[in-house]
Structure 1
């Protein structure tokens, strides 16, 4: 136990807590005047997330990788059941309703998926055709199921696993050419056919991205209000609880998808810079060590990859450089399932660091 405490990355843990507590402070402001105390719920979820972190940190690494496939399959079965029989909440079948709270299964599948992919990558010298189709299948199954809920934003985040896998492993040139052809053809089909199959609000979000002013009273409203909030904050912001776009409820989903807009309006460029500093310092700490095993190496990059991807998408979405995808900011936005899943995933990364130090000394 002394060795665990000695080599535990306390600085990175303080950054995680800093992000989570910053989120609670912002959620309190963003949800001011709402019927529900979202900040209090998030605080409860943080306590649960810390318990999940501790549990993941204490589990033996070999057991985690051995049983990841079974957890993955179990969650896939639940996703199938949700699509077939799930209750629609906020326009999607993404949540399981309990007596106390809602659980979003699609958030939790990120952890076993990253673990199983990490184990699979250790067996590949390079990505060949059979490996390519395995990656597409393992990632594609939850992608399709989550998209059918429909929750395209969360499904889209899973693509980061494939991107990281390709970056970490050499890939046959013929697969690259094939992927480019499929991407070009898929883009054409998506724009001309699949776009018409989407829910009206999903289709309008994509179209309004190219000209939000034309849709300023409908789907372009969120982007416009977000940019107004961030732009009006200036260098130091208007002050805590003094944002006009957030406090007067001009900005929708401000405690979830557009939490950065609240930060920008109330704390200005300095506040956003502080948040970016926390994230980039965390990424530096997470990537700046050599894991003890190949499985841990790939897992660290895969899981941090989806955090980085989701972080970038949320920021770019908030400033109008990406369509509104309904993607929360990791550790910061309101959402208990997301917070718990990311803390569990981080617990495994912290354990990988401990394993590295214990193997060296």
Structure 2
């Protein structure tokens, strides 16, 4: 563990401002601008509902991210358990009294936004584990007490999200939590045993899936078995990406999107629309932006003297990598469709809110990189 020492230096507003990671902010702004132009394209080249809503949310949550970045890192540390508990309460409320759409009960109507607590839990689980393990000595990490508490913290939200039902998001929450447990120093044998158990129980798990979930798995292996039904979305997605070629068809000229061959293009399949319009070169530029963003998050973690900040940045950066990889693999047919939004790019207030909260904690870690939390 890192040596603990006192930290009494108080930064002024301008000192904090100068400590911002402006490369990270540049990447976030670029992704936000690209996402708003893409959303404008999904509305047929008009400033309609999705483009207006996405623009307002990005401006609001980006401003919120900048504001929250000035909070002392100790604030995030001290409220970590509260954040997790409130989000868990929201999950319970959503499961019991939430808004139902498309057969899933996973939203809470807050009037100004339909909040999806499972998106917030992706961040809450990381910050909670970062708080829990920040003072644990390495030899005690694998104690029976820590294993039981960690499993309880992780399994409670997963079971609630699965019951909504939302298998895809529950898997992403599980991955986020497991990443932090790995980084905290859990023995590799526990991951091996868990992996083997999952593989052995896979046939039983699949048998318990709902019909539409089984359909997604079967469609992943053979989309052509039902080209006008379950396989339609992924077939059209691959056609759109492939038709973009090297340089794309041009802004507002994506035929698959404009002729409505591609449903839900503003949410999880926003990369498909972007790739069709801007081609391979545009997709590579987008990947570079995400790569630089993830690198900056990990770099901030590596320079932090606080194990809490270090663990959060490593966990959050790794989670962003997983979300981007899963989303792009999904729309390319390399993974089953699991309902994973592309961070910042996809339409959805809850996903953007969670991402911006995570980025604000990262920025707070950057500003207070010399701070050590006892």
Shorter-chain-normalised TM-score: which range? over 0.9
Aligned equivalent of 1:55: 67
Give deviations 1:30-78, integer Å, cap 9, x for gaps. 2328995201101110122023213321222112211221221122122
Aligned equivalent of 1:44: 56
Aligned equivalent of 1:138: 153
Aligned equivalent of 1:24: 36
Q: Between 205-214 and 24-33, report the one with greater CA deviation.
A: 24-33
Task: Find runs of 4+ consecutive structure 1 residues off by over 4 angstroms.
Answer: 33-36
Aligned length: 355
Separation in 2 of the partners of 1:74 and 1:170?
A: 27
Separation in 2 of the partners of 1:17 and 1:357?
A: 27
Structure 1 residues not aligned, in runs of 5+: none
The 3 A distance-change label for structure 1 pair 296 and 100 is closer
Contact 1:128–1:171, Cα closer than 8 Å, also in 2 = no
- 1:347 corresponds to which of 360, 365, 369: 360
Say whether residues 1:165 and 2:177 are aligned partners: no
Task: Give the superposed CA RMSD.
Answer: 2.0
Give deviations 1:296-345, integer Å, cap 9, x for gaps. 00011111222111110001001100001111100111111111211111
Aligned equivalent of 1:213: 224
Separation in 2 of the partners of 1:150 and 1:112?
A: 20
Q: Between 264-273 and 163-172, report the one with greater CA deviation.
A: 163-172
CA displacement at 1:85 relative to structure 2: 2.2
Q: Between 135-144 and 231-240, report the one with greater CA deviation.
A: 135-144
Aligned partner of residue 109 in structure 1, secondary structure:
helix
Say whether residues 1:257 and 2:268 are aligned partners: yes
The 3 A distance-change label for structure 1 pair 259 and 174 is closer
Separation in 1 of the partners of 2:185 and 2:208?
A: 32
- TM-score, length of structure 2 as denominator length: 0.89
Say whether residues 1:95 and 2:95 are aligned partners: no
Aligned equivalent of 1:194: 208
Contact 2:168–2:340, Cα closer than 8 Å, also in 1 = yes
Structure 2 residues not aligned, in runs of 5+: 1-12
- TM-score, length of structure 1 as denominator length: 0.93
Mapping 1:272-311, distance limit 5 Å: 272-289=283-300, 290-311=303-324
Say whether residues 1:314 and 2:327 are aligned partners: yes
Aligned equivalent of 1:329: 342
CA displacement at 1:27 relative to structure 2: 1.1
Separation in 2 of the partners of 1:224 and 1:173?
A: 39
Contact 2:183–2:315, Cα closer than 8 Å, also in 1 = no
